[in-house]
Structure 1
Amino acid sequence: MTSTPLRTGLLVDDDTLYLRTLQRSLARRGVETLTAT
């Protein structure tokens, strides 16, 4: 059984390394994100 994320969001930045790092950090806190560069 998978848990559903508490929140979802869109991250927009031109620094892809920062976006990936932030996305992983938020995922550990139950936030599902999509990225746009």
Structure 2
Amino acid sequence: MLTKGEHMHNTEYEKYPTSGEENVEVDVHWPIQDA
């Protein structure tokens, strides 16, 4: 899984997704940070 640091980077991908796949991955991890 992702570490705290990588999770932080995921937040940036959520704002500026470089690709559709990346966006989907963020979407999957997003609820975890929201919980």
Common fold, TM-score beyond 0.5? no
Q: TM-score of the superposition, structure 2-length normalised?
A: 0.38
Structure with greater proportional strand content: 1
- Whose RCO is larger (CA < 8 A, sep 6+)? 1
CA radius of gyration, larger in: 1
Structure with greater proportional helix content: 2
